[in-house]
Structure 1
Amino acid sequence: MALDVELAEIRDFLGSHPPFEALSPDELTAITPRLSIVYRRRGTEVLAAGERVGELLVVRSGAVESRDEDGALLERGGAGTCVGGGALAAEVPQPVGVVAIEDSLLLAMPAAVFHELLAQHPEVSAHFSQRARALAAAVSVQRTHRAEGGGRAVLRTRARDLVTRTPVSVPATATIREAAEVMSRERISSVLVTTDDRLVGILTDRDLRTRVVAAGASPEAPVTSVMTPDPVTGHPDALALEVLLELLRRNIHHLPLVVHGRAVGMITATDLLQLEHANPVHLVGEVAKAADPAAVAEVARRLDELVSSLVRQGTTAHDAGRVVTSVGDAVEQRLLGLAEAELGPPPVPYAWITLGSRARFEQALGPDQDHALVVHDDHRPEHDAWFAALAERVTDGLEQAGYPRCRGEKMATNPSWRLPVTAWREHLLRWMTTPTPQAVMESSVFFDLRHQYGDGSLTAVLRDLQRETAPRSPLFLAHLAAHACTRQPPLGFFRGLVVDRSGEHRDTLDVKRGGLLIVAEIGRLHGLAAGSPATGTLARLEDAAADGRISAPLAADLRDAWEFLAHLRLVHQAERVRAGEPPDNHVPPASLSSFEQRHLKAAFGVIRDAQSAVAQRYPVRTLS
């Protein structure tokens, strides 16, 4: 009797998962006794790459994942996931390895039973054929990522990829003549100045012209007297696009690449601008040369085409967000420069800060504006007209360039978001030390901030205050936790996808509000609690895991979920652009393959688990 009950449970389990839901109850009853049960401990191999598959495995409980030969995640699934079906159907070796990521029970269906099902049920055969094609496509995409070099891969070019020689340096004890001789001999336009291998300065051709020849300095004077001390530096892993933006922002032509104080390379504006024409580096260069806001907007309209190119090249969502954000930064900075040129110099120093997804380097197409102005405390009431005019010109220019105004008025045009630094400090302290749910919800975007233009020291005051105060503000963190748990992923009780049933977005789900924003809120919470200096979601999760705020496996799962959802949105937006429709975040699940739908459910499930972990760690229930 007990055996009959167990067989009935297995029959009902199979009948609730694709593709076995296509079988009749009698057919399910007939095949159930022909199955066996296999157990795999967490971390053990379920199916090896290259293995000849002798049976179909169906996850009864637990979870498995498949990765390519370089460890890139291809698929992850829980109960109902079929393992080896595509290879078994095509009678080819298993293309990728599958590993249990939890203690797992699997139902094993002999090959003879499996092939009987394929012969009798075309829909079952079609299911496994589609899975095989989807897996092959995923493997192909990962191989394309690895195979990309120069040329079309320029969108993903890192600063280190542009370094063609080891950096040339002279000691700080050298004379100007000695430094110039090194530059001449090595045929370079700049030389680094070091003390004990640590970078202390840079001497360029321009310095020799303006500070030595024109100023009549003695060639025997120390190089330290004419070098630029503590020069602006970059990191080798920065995108080439970000490096160009930094050069344009600072009006410099050389950027040493530094790791732990030691120079590992040097790149110049010429290195960057020699990259192929049809890429974001060139786009940023054109924005920087635009003569007026209309010209800026004209260049910015090519961003849609850029995103389509990113999708075609298989760029990761993380890298795509950085590229799109960097173009947006260039637009914003050029508009600020044009506004200053029109209005004249500012009456007091100020900082323009960018907020939200732009600050996190996670922008996609169609984002609204989020920014604020931090004004020096020497500000007087009569100065506000200048800053109000600046804010209006830049906000209007951004709107022309395709960035809609924020419906919540979180923009520098709002006097409440255009304040002296002391007033901002008071706001931040109040939000963090005596928070209210409404205030935290309205101000949460301000906790993703990044300096954009002007006096960086003003931004640093607020950024440092956040980093120092947030970890010591448990009530504030509890409010952030409650906010992160308020919005639920569009996943039903039985882990089905929940779509809008009416209205403009009927039969779609919002991957931004139902997924990406929740991950960003969780990352913000844990990052602030850990005192992380990062603003990006993935970097915050990494810092939080290192600090013990979140388990390393859950942080890894959230990173994978974020990357998948962001990539899904990127592809969806590119398709809408190609169809002549405005980009949005509303993806119709019916347009996705079963492979993608399974990933989507898994991603939303990870987010739901992360929300549960947040609710357990922070006293969200005590706030009601």
Structure 2
Amino acid sequence: MAARGRRGMLLPIMEPELAEVRDFLAAHAPFSDLPDDVLAAVPARCSLRYHRRGSTILRPDEVVTSFLIVRSGALDVHDPAGGLVERVDVGGSVGVNGLLQPPPYGFVVTAVEDTLVLVVPGEVFRDLLTYPGVSSYFMLQQAHRLRQAVESVQISDHGGAVLRTRIADMLGRAPVIARPDATVREAARTMREARVSSVLVLDSTDRLCGILTDRDLRNRVVAEGLSVEVPIAEVMTTDPITLESDALALEALLEMLGRGIHHLPVVEDGRPRGLVTSTDLIRLEQSSPLYVVQDVSRQSSPEGLAAVARRLPSIVDHLVTQDASASDISRVVTAVADALHRRLILLAEEKFGPPPVPYCWVALGSQARYESGLGGDQDSALILDDSATLEHATYFAEFAEFITDGLVLCGYPRCPGDVMATNPRWRQTETAWRAIFAEWIERPTPDAVVGATIFFDMRALAGDTDMCERLRRHVLARTPQASTFLAHLIKQAVFHQPPLGLFRGLVLEKGGPNESTLDLKHRGVGPVAEIARAQALSVGSTAVDTRGRLAGARSAGRMSESSVADLLDAFEFISYVRLRHQAGRVREGHAPDNFVSPASLSSFEKRTLKDAFGVIRQAQTALAQRQPLGYIS
């Protein structure tokens, strides 16, 4: 009798059953794509195993030598933290990743019900991988597992999901409403009686057409000396930003941070269901970044701003332990950085007086892409109106120095490469900037490519923002035809390889203070940003963020939907591990960095990072194949 233990009862496949097993395999992918003679030979090399309901079939620390196909019953696959990765029904398989990658396996597999599995030895599996249909099927399965891993790391360590609360769950009283022809006096009385700071304005069909807030009353009525008898239609905010009731509290938070507003109407089919305010979110989440942004606006000195900025790492630490994604956390970090920049710019104008000519202060790099982490340095530039002359140089030099010094106080060190507005090279008129970009595009030297990787990630922060947008539109219209320049960008994008060895082992940094660590910036998120930039510029996409650029490449047919989805999952997972590491460094009293020790990662995280790095490598290979790079030096 066959042995029976925690692995269940092993059953050989008898001669009469071979045809039945062959027919079973023929009915399920990827075996249905095998040639008939190959398929017919598989059952005799396999065996069956029976597992009782609730039994553990595979453990995270195991060395897998076979993969299992569910013949009857069902299996659950969990990550080491207990999160459900997938349920595998009849025809599905488990253990494949244990054969594709070095041990240990990294997942817990249990029988949901009494289950019979077909045991396929590793040597059979390797033989079958020589058939393209089989290999591509299991590569897609790997991508699915990466996507599940991305979702599982976003589960709160505290079991709560404060910022993932749905807006519908936050709504209480019915919205206070008014009509457009009501007077300001009537609206103010309504707000006083209802003890609210705003009213929603509905048109004759009961659809939202505006909002009137206490700020509107101060700024648009009292400060302007208007009569309280004017209709509120003349002073309200028309077509306000809204959210659907199934949106998340985090989405409301990000809208308020990004737009500097404090009230968000909640609608369904254009009709208001309620209102969410910044106070609601602060009450919901006491460590909300709204506290930081609000305090930034109240500061009157760089020292005061620095005191506020020191609270950002603890907020990131808190967001990491909630179920916020890396994308959302980076947007919060960027929003706080933007607020600090803008407040310092206002303080500079107060100190030095109104600017002599119009200007635009621009953020560069990861801040421009809304992808900031902790510990990043400064990257900035100034675009000046074409009327600027040498006599204006002193004003803007002192102006930039004040802002840069203030940012250093706030925890943003100077750029080691001096890519800052304090460098006269990066304080230019709009026309001069056009010439600089033209030089980079038409004569792409190595220095030009380095400049392009920084300055093509450009976003206006303050001043005359139209200058930046005009410059970007002018430049982006030229990049799709600049084949030599794009070839240089592509070469740069494939140069920084992810830290993955020949046999899918992790390649660690050698020598220096960061020896034996993984550089998740330059060899993780950086290559994804470079791939996205090269793809986007080749189609003239106006997006500046990595996710938007990849979406643009997909829409233009440059990348397939599946390859973009896989690359976004890889980007998200690596970014999350990086942000969590940075928050942990600050918590332990160290400066945040991008170098993660493998010893600090679980087997699940190491395995998923390998998946993510593999996806990046595939994307780099696909990008390089689009254009010959051998002649580029």
Which TM bucket (shorter chain)?
Answer: 0.7 to 0.9
Secondary structure of the structure 1 residue equivalent to 2:122? strand
226-235 vs 392-401, which deviates more?
226-235
**Other-structure match for 1:19:** none
**Other-structure match for 1:426:** 435
The correspondence for 1:607, drawn from 595, 603, 616, is 616
Shift of 1:57: 6.1
258-267 vs 279-288, which deviates more?
258-267
- Distance change (3 Å), C-alpha of 1:195 and 1:402: farther
8 A Cα contact 2:210 2:240, kept in partner: yes
- Once residues 379 and 163 of structure 1 are traced to their aligned partners in structure 2, the CA distance between those partners, rounded to angstroms, is 52
Q: Is 1:398 aligned to 2:386, yes or no?
A: no
Q: Is 1:93 aligned to 2:111, yes or no?
A: yes
- Once residues 315 and 405 of structure 1 are traced to their aligned partners in structure 2, the CA distance between those partners, rounded to angstroms, is 29
Alignment of 1:331-350 (within 5 A): 331-350=340-359
**Other-structure match for 1:464:** 473
Shift of 1:170: 6.5
**Other-structure match for 2:374:** 365
TM (normalized to structure 2)? Answer: 0.72
- Once residues 148 and 485 of structure 1 are traced to their aligned partners in structure 2, the CA distance between those partners, rounded to angstroms, is 40
- Once residues 538 and 397 of structure 2 are traced to their aligned partners in structure 1, the CA distance between those partners, rounded to angstroms, is 35
Q: Is 1:483 aligned to 2:492, yes or no?
A: yes
- Distance change (3 Å), C-alpha of 1:605 and 1:105: farther
**Other-structure match for 1:15:** none
Q: Is 1:385 aligned to 2:394, yes or no?
A: yes
Q: Is 1:79 aligned to 2:67, yes or no?
A: no
The correspondence for 2:257, drawn from 230, 236, 245, is 245
Shift of 1:293: 0.7
Letter aligned with residue 29 of structure 2: R
1:551-608: CA deviation from partner (whole Å, max 9, x where unpaired): 2222122112112212222232233223322221112223333332222222211111
Letter aligned with residue 245 of structure 1: L
8 A Cα contact 2:381 2:427, kept in partner: yes
**Other-structure match for 1:536:** 545
The correspondence for 1:616, drawn from 622, 625, 631, is 625
% identical equivalent positions: 44
- Once residues 150 and 534 of structure 2 are traced to their aligned partners in structure 1, the CA distance between those partners, rounded to angstroms, is 33
8 A Cα contact 2:434 2:475, kept in partner: no
Shift of 1:536: 2.1
The correspondence for 1:565, drawn from 563, 574, 579, is 574
Letter aligned with residue 391 of structure 2: E
8 A Cα contact 1:190 1:203, kept in partner: yes
8 A Cα contact 1:373 1:412, kept in partner: yes
1:16-73: CA deviation from partner (whole Å, max 9, x where unpaired): xxxxxxxxxxxxxxxxxxxx998973599xx99x886768965789xxx98966879x
The correspondence for 1:303, drawn from 305, 312, 321, is 312
- Distance change (3 Å), C-alpha of 1:316 and 1:427: same
Structure 1: unaligned runs, 5 residues or longer: 1-35, 98-103, 110-135
Shift of 1:207: 4.5
Secondary structure of the structure 2 residue equivalent to 1:620? coil
Q: Is 1:546 aligned to 2:567, yes or no?
A: no
- Once residues 327 and 75 of structure 1 are traced to their aligned partners in structure 2, the CA distance between those partners, rounded to angstroms, is 44
Shift of 1:407: 0.9
**Other-structure match for 1:473:** 482
1:346-373: CA deviation from partner (whole Å, max 9, x where unpaired): 2222221111111122222211111111
8 A Cα contact 2:278 2:290, kept in partner: no
8 A Cα contact 1:311 1:571, kept in partner: yes
Secondary structure of the structure 1 residue equivalent to 2:305? helix
Structure 2: unaligned runs, 5 residues or longer: 1-20, 33-48, 69-76, 88-93, 125-147
Alignment of 1:412-451 (within 5 A): 412-451=421-460
8 A Cα contact 1:58 1:80, kept in partner: no
Alignment of 1:138-157 (within 5 A): 144=156, 148-149=160-161, 153-154=162-163
**Other-structure match for 2:4:** none
- Distance change (3 Å), C-alpha of 1:615 and 1:415: same
8 A Cα contact 1:275 1:281, kept in partner: no
1:398-453: CA deviation from partner (whole Å, max 9, x where unpaired): 11111111111111111121122222233234433553343022221111122212
Q: Is 1:584 aligned to 2:584, yes or no?
A: no
The correspondence for 2:602, drawn from 593, 609, 617, is 593
Secondary structure of the structure 1 residue equivalent to 2:100? coil
Letter aligned with residue 377 of structure 2: D
Shift of 1:542: 2.7
Cα RMSD of the aligned pairs, angstroms, is 4.5
- Distance change (3 Å), C-alpha of 1:137 and 1:532: closer
8 A Cα contact 2:200 2:208, kept in partner: no
8 A Cα contact 1:545 1:552, kept in partner: yes
- Once residues 568 and 599 of structure 1 are traced to their aligned partners in structure 2, the CA distance between those partners, rounded to angstroms, is 11
Secondary structure of the structure 2 residue equivalent to 1:623? coil
- Distance change (3 Å), C-alpha of 1:222 and 1:146: same
8 A Cα contact 2:252 2:264, kept in partner: no
Secondary structure of the structure 1 residue equivalent to 2:200? strand
- Once residues 423 and 569 of structure 1 are traced to their aligned partners in structure 2, the CA distance between those partners, rounded to angstroms, is 38
8 A Cα contact 2:179 2:202, kept in partner: yes
**Other-structure match for 2:504:** 495
8 A Cα contact 1:76 1:599, kept in partner: no
- Distance change (3 Å), C-alpha of 1:138 and 1:399: closer
8 A Cα contact 1:541 1:555, kept in partner: yes
373-382 vs 463-472, which deviates more?
463-472
Shift of 1:511: 1.4
Q: Is 1:323 aligned to 2:328, yes or no?
A: no
Q: Is 1:517 aligned to 2:526, yes or no?
A: yes
8 A Cα contact 1:467 1:532, kept in partner: yes
8 A Cα contact 1:491 1:498, kept in partner: yes
Shift of 1:512: 0.9
How many residue pairs match? The answer is 539
**Other-structure match for 1:107:** 122
Secondary structure of the structure 2 residue equivalent to 1:534? coil
494-503 vs 425-434, which deviates more?
425-434
- Once residues 593 and 233 of structure 1 are traced to their aligned partners in structure 2, the CA distance between those partners, rounded to angstroms, is 41
- Distance change (3 Å), C-alpha of 1:390 and 1:265: farther
**Other-structure match for 2:29:** 41
- Once residues 204 and 392 of structure 2 are traced to their aligned partners in structure 1, the CA distance between those partners, rounded to angstroms, is 45
- Once residues 201 and 374 of structure 2 are traced to their aligned partners in structure 1, the CA distance between those partners, rounded to angstroms, is 40
